[in-house]
Amino acid sequence: MAAVLAEGSAGGAESEAAAVPPMAGLEMVQQGAEARVYRGLFLGRPTVAKHRFPKRYRHPLLEERLSRRRTAQEARSLLRCWRAGKEAEDWLWKAVG
């Protein structure tokens, strides 16, 4: 299963109530305070996608920096899991579901 991390644009005016998948064919699994998690298929493989949506009360520059840093931290965590022999996608699915 593939894992996809998606960043929201800090300048967008997306409504937090409107849960529009970042890619066609994805189904929302869970929504938190910072992001929505979707599952579906990408290139024929089961996939988990995380879409960070911007917080309108934050300055756009701060929002962009926070989103980039958090996405990079999650990617490093998935890589550490993979290097330790644990399938990162299994870990991600357990955290979500």
- Token pair of 87, please? 């399938």
Residue 4 neighbours by CB distance under 10 Å: 15
Model confidence, pTM: 0.63
- What pLDDT is attached to residue 51? 85
Domain ranges of the chain: 26-85
Beta-carbon contacts of 81 under 8 Å, excluding residues fewer than 6 positions away, are: 87, 88, 91
What confidence tier does 90 reach under pLDDT thresholds 50, 70, 90?
Answer: low
Beta-carbon contacts of 39 under 8 Å, excluding residues fewer than 6 positions away, are: 26, 27, 29, 46, 47, 48, 49
Express as a percent the part of the chain with pLDDT over 70.
67
